[in-house]
Amino acid sequence: MTYPNDDEFLYALSSNQAWASYKSHQNPAFFKTLTNEHAPSILWIGCADSRVPETTILGLPPGAVFVHRNFANIISPTDINTAAVIEHAVVNLKVKHIILCGHSACDGARATLTDSRAGGVLETWLTSLRVVRAQLASQLATIRDDHTKEIMIAEKNVEVGVAVLMANSTVQEHIKSRGLEVHGCFFDISSGRIRDLGLGTRMSTRRAPSTNGTAETVRGKHAQLVFREGGVAGMEAR
């Protein structure tokens, strides 16, 4: 992509000015409302990959999603950074949903396919993904396509991460006391679609999509994300 004067930083600042002006013109109270209110319904835990911007792919506005992103969306029970985000989101913001989302073409998953070392802190951080690779060794050995292997590792990484989330004492407490829900999802970069992997709090009660029953909606400007009974999440145009 080409930027004016080949200066990406200045282009970003200029783009921000245009965006802020547009939002203020569209809704003069937009930024005042953001300043006075912080009540997101969703905690999104995802990858730092620039191709997976959570509010963009969910079609939701600023303020709707509390976010934690790291390299390869790894949930480590000893990572105080992740733990602090979870605690604040669950205890103080009282989010209703935690979404752990992996994605295709993940650099972390790709890095674990070979025996070469990433070096430095990356080597330590990717240890859990190498454990995932070892767990899947027999299945991976039957697959020739590296893309398919990457997706298998990335999806298993979400499964492992959801298990860690479900074992978190704060998460457990709020699941029992107020019905907090945990979801494991996967974003396909090639299609722009998010799949519910059927993991988390609704895993044991998943059923076919239905137009009946309860549903919870998080609304954006042009679309809404709907969490239906039975663990089915979907995007609907408004």
Residues 176, 156: Cα–Cα separation, whole Å: 26
- Name the residue among 223, 178, 217 with its Cα closest to residue 201: 178
- Is 106 annotated to bind a ligand? Reply is yes
Catalytic residue among 51, 69, 130, 219: 51
3-state SS of the chain is CCCHHHCHHHHHHHHHHHHHHHHHHHCCCHHHHHHHCCCCCEEEEEECCCCCCHHHHHCCCCCCEEEEEEHHHCCCCCCHHHHHHHHHHHHHCCCCEEEEEEECCCHHHHHCCCCCCCCHHHHHHCHHHHHHHHHCHHHHCCCCCHHHHHHHHHHHHHHHHHHHHHHCHHHHHHHHHHCCEEEEEEEECCCCEEEEEEEECCHHHCCCCCCCCCEEEEECCCEEEEEECCCEEEEEEC
Tell me, yes or no, if 106 is annotated catalytic: yes
Catalytic residue among 68, 101, 106, 183: 106
- Is 185 annotated to bind a ligand? Reply is no
Residues 196, 187: Cα–Cα separation, whole Å: 9
Catalytic residue among 47, 183, 196, 228: 47
- Is 49 annotated to bind a ligand? Reply is yes
Q: Token digits for 94? A: 């009282």
Catalytic residue among 68, 97, 103, 202: 103
Residues 202, 229: Cα–Cα separation, whole Å: 9
- Is 101 annotated to bind a ligand? Reply is no
Tell me, yes or no, if 103 is annotated catalytic: yes
Look up residue 131 and give its amino acid. V
Active site residues: 47, 49, 51, 103, 106
Known binding-site residues for Zn(2+) equal 47, 49, 103, 106
Known binding-site residues equal 47, 49, 103, 106
